[in-house]
């Protein structure tokens, strides 16, 4: 199983380590040719404005969206979740528009409001530890979007078909549950 | 499984280092007003450093260099959505308290400003806002981490437009870490003494071959190739100070350095980034500077 990690900027190396601990083969994706032959793709944390700009400039945007439409599984964390959203607010910005949800950037505040917390989830029988860093909030999740975990009522882990999105950073937690869930999603093909 | 450091499981520490992790692979740009901050953000900066004067001007104009005025920092915070950093003088914990009250995202305890304490740095653990500190060698880096720095950057020689000191410092830090990994258990206590750093941190580095916080580069980066150089030497991200807004075409140079940082190991991409850039900042030969003109010797 070959999983790509978008490596334009951000905490892609934390994802790589986690995936390798779970036995997946990883590829750092910097150009369109790196996308060939992937079973799944991770959009890591970092700055969504930086990611979006370089995706557009490097000609990665169109092939990436095309591969997802053809069934490649995708998992976005924090900035990655912002990229996946249909609509982005605070401020409005371009996105890949792949998940029917509206996301508000930096909705909890600045770095002072970053935190580690726990919440229950439907993907695991134990509560998930969640690391939020200048995190976005999912203001609206469409009917086709399944909510897998919430923080104070707001969705923080969601799935739409073969796409998974977290507003927190499972790659910075010692709990591998979310990555394991994603790899199962990739393996099962649905 | 490497042994955990005593502070590495603390939630506040983890979100501080977490933000530093998010900045990896990116470029943090010095800006002096909202307009420059917007140019930096549009060019792909992953964060900006809010300043009253860039290091090249501090060097030229002299006088005491202090924390930027809150008004300038606030205008920059209002202008962009990416993280905003600001500098405090070495040891000036009250300036740091002011920046925390202002809610900046990262504080740089910086040798670029005039030191406020010639013996002690800020004790950074009690702050909720993460700190970055400069270092010229591994001992300095580990002392700053002990005090609570969540990110280390090379000092280089700020405002010089000359990469030589950043290279020296990155090679020193990486080389000293490599050496530690080859030492026997019984040699580590003596290595800690030589480095002037706590034993538990020295042992952690010896076992892991890297710093327990992200390791970035700063001080003299002026061209896309400079960025590609320090990244290949081990920098996980770069700070560009005077190099962008002291060049003839800041917007284009900012974009080029971002591209070269992402694709540091791809010479064709760095070549593309290097073309049609206009004039780089002029730069200084470090050997022509007096000892007392060096900024890197500040900090202890």
What DSSP line would sit under B189-215, residue for residue?
A: HHHHHHHTS-HHHHHHHHHHSS-SS-E
What gap in Å lies between CA B28 and CA A108, rounded to an integer? 23
Distance CA B300, CA B290 (A): 19
- A-contacting residues of B 247-286, CB under 8 Å? 258-259, 261-263, 266
Chain A hits for B24, Cβ within 8 Å = 9-13, 46
**Distance separating alpha carbons of residues B43 and A57, to the nearest angstrom:** 11
Identify from A8, A48, A131 which residue to disrupt to test chain B contact, counting B C-beta atoms within 10 A and taking the largest count: A8
Domain span holding position A16: 2-188
Strands A163-166 and B27-31 turn out to be unpaired
- Residue B78: pLDDT over 60: yes
Specify the pLDDT at position B8.
82
pLDDT at A44: 98
Of the residues A25, A57, A126, A171, only one is catalytic, namely A171
Q: Count the Cβ atoms, other than its own, within 10 Å of residue B4.
A: 11
Q: Express each pLDDT in A129-172 by its tens digit.
A: 999 999 999 999 999 999 999 999 999 999 999 999 999 999 99
Strands A2-6 and A25-29: parallel
User: Is residue B1 pLDDT above 50, yes or no?
Assistant: no
Model confidence at B291, pLDDT cuts 50, 70, 90, reads: confident
A131 touches chain B (CB under 8 A): yes
**End-to-end CA gap in chain B:** 33
Cβ contacts of B153 within 8 Å, gap of 6 or more? B132, B133, B134, B135, B215, B216, B217, B218, B219, B239
Nearest chain A residue to B237, by CA: A9
Distance of CA A150 to the CA centre of its chain: 16
Please tell me the predicted confidence (pLDDT) of residue B226: 97
Identify which of B76, B78, B74 has the alpha carbon closest to the alpha carbon of residue B48: B76
* pLDDT, mean of residues B191-197: 97
CA distance B201 to B142: 7
- Pick the more confident residue, B280 or B112: B112
pLDDT exceeds 50 at position A76: yes
State the DSSP code for A112.
G
Strands (DSSP E) found in A83-187: 85-89, 99-104, 115-119, 128-132, 137-141, 146-151, 154-160, 163-166
Q: Over chain B, what is the mean pLDDT? A: 94
Residue of chain B whose alpha carbon sits nearest to that of A91: B81
List the single residue in A with minimal CA-CA distance to B99. A112
**pLDDT at B3 (0 to 100):** 60
Calpha distance B100→A112 (Å, rounded):
8
Q: Determine the pLDDT at residue B274.
A: 95
Q: Are residues B25 and A54, on separate chains, in Cβ contact within 8 Å?
A: no
Taking CB atoms and an 8 Å cutoff, what residues of chain A touch B18?
A: 11, 114, 131, 133, 169, 172
Question: Does A151 touch chain B if contact means CB atoms closer than 8 Å?
Answer: no
Instruction: Specify the long-range contacts of residues B119-123, CB closer than 8 Å, at least 24 apart.
Output: B119/B91, B119/B300, B120/B91, B120/B300, B121/B90, B121/B91, B121/B147, B121/B299, B121/B300, B122/B88, B122/B90, B122/B91, B122/B92, B122/B93, B122/B96, B122/B147, B123/B93, B123/B147, B123/B148
Active-site annotation holds for A115? no
Is residue A96 a contact partner of residue B90, using CB atoms and an 8 Å limit?
Answer: no
Q: Kindly report the CA angle at A18 between A16 and A21, in degrees rounded to 5?
A: 105
Q: What is the pLDDT of residue B216?
A: 97
Chain-centre distance of CA B17, in angstroms? 14
Read off the pLDDT of each residue in A98-126 and give the average, rounded to a whole number.
96
Which chain A residue is nearest to residue B10, measuring alpha carbons? A116
Cβ atoms of residues A59 and A24 within 8 Å: no
To test the contact with chain B by mutation, choose from A50, A78, A106, A110 the residue with the greatest count of B C-beta atoms within 10 A, namely A50
Cα gap B271→A56, rounded to integer Å: 19
Tokens of B23: 């900045």
- Counting one residue from A and one from B, how many pairs have CB atoms under 8 Å apart? 106
What is the ipTM for the molecules in this complex?
0.96
The 10s digit of each residue's pLDDT in B41-77 is 999 999 999 998 888 898 888 889 999 999 999 999 9
Q: What would the pLDDT profile of B137-161 be if each residue is shown by its tens digit?
A: 999 999 999 999 999 999 999 989 9
Mapping DSSP to helix (H, G, I), strand (E, B) and coil, where does residue B65 land? coil
- Hey, is the C-beta of B26 within 8 angstroms of any chain A C-beta? yes
Instruction: Identify the band that residue A190 occupies on the pLDDT scale cut at 50, 70 and 90.
Output: low
Q: How far is A189 from chain B (nearest CA, A)?
A: 30
Q: Is B156 helix (H, G, I), strand (E, B) or coil?
A: coil
Q: Given B18, B81, B258, which is nearest A114 (Cβ)?
A: B18
Are the C-beta atoms of residues B223 and B242 closer than 8 Å to each other? no
- List chain A residues with CB under 8 Å of B262: 7-9, 30, 54
Residue positions of B annotated with a catalytic role: 87
- Is residue B101 within 8 A of residue B93, CB to CB? The reply is no
CATH of residue A70's domain is: 3.40.50.880
Query: Which residues of A are less than 8 Å from B261 in CB distance?
Result: 9
**Looking at the 3D structure of chain A, how many domains does it have?**
1
Confidence of residue A72 (pLDDT cuts 50, 70, 90): very high
In whole angstroms, give the CA distance from residue A33 to residue B156. Answer: 36
**What is the predicted pLDDT for the residue at B293?**
86
Assess whether pLDDT exceeds 70 at residue B105: yes
A171 as an active site residue: the answer is yes
Please determine, for residue A69, whether its predicted confidence score (pLDDT) is greater than 50. yes
The verdict on a CB contact (< 8 Å) between A9 and B262 is yes
Contact B22 A105 (CB under 8 A): no
Q: Are A112 and B100 a contacting pair at CB < 8 A?
A: yes
Of all residues in chain A, the percent with pLDDT exceeding 90 is: 97
Nearest to B14 among A78, A91, A172 (CB): A172
């Amino acid at each position: 199983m070959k999983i790509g990690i978008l490596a334009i900027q951000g905490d892609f190396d934390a994802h790589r380590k986690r995936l390798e601990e779970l036995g997946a083969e990883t590829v750092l994706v910097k150009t369109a040719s790196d996308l060939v032959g992937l079973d799944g793709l991770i959009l890591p944390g970092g700055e969504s404005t930086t990611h979006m700009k370089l995706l557009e400039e490097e000609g990665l945007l169109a092939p990436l969206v095309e591969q997802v439409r053809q069934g490649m599984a995708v998992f976005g964390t924090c900035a990655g979740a912002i990229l996946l959203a249909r609509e982005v607010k605070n401020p409005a910005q371009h996105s890949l528009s792949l998940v029917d949800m509206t996301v508000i950037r930096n909705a909890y505040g600045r770095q002072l409001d970053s935190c580690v917390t726990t919440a229950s989830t439907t993907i695991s029988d134990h509560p998930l530890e969640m690391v939020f860093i200048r995190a976005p909030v999912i203001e609206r999740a469409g009917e086709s979007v399944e909510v897998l975990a919430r923080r104070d009522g707001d969705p923080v882990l969601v799935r739409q078909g073969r796409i998974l999105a977290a507003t927190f950073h499972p790659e910075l937690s010692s709990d591998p549950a979310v990555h394991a869930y994603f790899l199962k999603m990739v393996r099962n093909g649905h | 499984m490497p042994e955990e450091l005593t502070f590495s499981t603390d939630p506040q520490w983890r979100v501080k280092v977490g933000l530093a992790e998010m900045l990896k692979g990116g470029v943090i740009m010095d800006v002096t007003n909202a307009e420059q901050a917007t140019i930096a953000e549009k060019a792909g900066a992953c964060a900006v450093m809010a300043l009253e004067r860039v290091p090249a001007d501090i060097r030229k104009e002299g006088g005491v260099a202090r924390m930027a005025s809150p008004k300038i920092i606030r205008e920059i915070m209002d202008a962009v959505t990416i993280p905003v950093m600001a500098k405090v003088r070495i040891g000036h914990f009250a300036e740091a308290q002011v920046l925390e009250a202002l809610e900046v995202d990262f504080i740089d305890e910086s040798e670029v400003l005039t030191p406020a304490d010639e013996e002690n740095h800020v004790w950074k653990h009690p702050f909720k806002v993460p700190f970055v500190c400069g270092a010229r060698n591994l001992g300095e880096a580990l002392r700053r981490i002990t005090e609570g720095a969540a990110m280390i950057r090379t000092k280089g020689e700020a405002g010089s437009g000359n990469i030589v000191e950043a290279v020296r410092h990155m090679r020193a830090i990486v080389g000293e870490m490599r050496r530690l990994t080859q030492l026997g258990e019984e040699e580590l206590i003596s290595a800690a003494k030589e480095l002037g750093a706590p034993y538990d941190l020295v042992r952690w580095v010896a076992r892991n071959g890297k710093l327990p916080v992200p390791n970035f580069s700063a001080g003299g980066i002026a061209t896309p190739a400079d960025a590609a150089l320090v990244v290949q030497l081990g920098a996980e991200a770069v700070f560009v100070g005077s190099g962008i807004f002291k060049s003839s075409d800041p917007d284009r140079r900012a974009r080029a350095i971002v591209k070269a940082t992402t694709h540091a190991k791809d010479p064709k991409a760095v070549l593309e980034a290097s073309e049609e850039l206009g004039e780089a900042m002029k730069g200084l030969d470090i050997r022509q500077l007096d000892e007392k003109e060096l900024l890197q010797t500040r900090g202890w």
